[in-house]
Amino acid sequence: MTSLQIRKWTYAALYLAIALVLPFITGQIPEIGAMLSPMHIPVLLCGFMCGWPYGLTVGLIAPILRSVLFGMPAMYPAAVAMMFELATYGAMAGWLVRKLPQNVGGLYTALILSMIAGRLVWGAARVILAGLSGSSFTWALFLAGAFTNAVPGIILHLILIPVLVTAMDRAGLSLNKTTKKR
């Protein structure tokens, strides 16, 4: 294993730890804490900073591990569906940020496309899980879960993540990019 790979796995472990702890902090905001989608932030950052394999891995592990350790989110169907959603976020963010122009527009495009892809995958996972359990997952439930109830988190992510990625890029903390700075 190379020094760069060790650094990427170390960063990924830190992002995983943040994904486990951050919901405790946002949970202190009773009205909108859960709507801020706190686990999404470190997973997206991991993809942007370390690359798609690391973002995918942290996204797969975080919801399941948090469910096992703390009971939240509930394992089935929430954590299982989130596992696919967050894996998509991390993978897409890491892949797209390298494919798109290395500027603020490319960063926002990668973020928005990653968020849309993750929500679509979450919806597909919920439909499949509902079918396996003999329940239903309607279009209205998809829209509410993916967009309507997620507005505070979407806004937070669109503001916070580009600021953090840009700051970390400038500090030389990105392990996923070419040498261009935003």
Q: Give the mean pLDDT of 54-68.
A: 98
12, HSE (Cβ side, Cα atoms, 13 Å) = 26
Residue 172 backbone zone (phi > 0: left; psi -120 to 50: alpha; other: beta): left
Averaged confidence pLDDT in the chain: 93
Q: Give the mean pLDDT of 46-52.
A: 97
Q: What is the pLDDT of residues 112-148, one digit of tens each?
A: 999 999 999 999 999 999 989 988 888 888 988 888 8
% of residues, the chain, pLDDT over 70: 97
**Full set of structural domains in the chain with CATH:** 3-170 (1.10.1760.20)
Q: What is the pLDDT of residue 76?
A: 95
Q: What is the pTM of this model?
A: 0.94
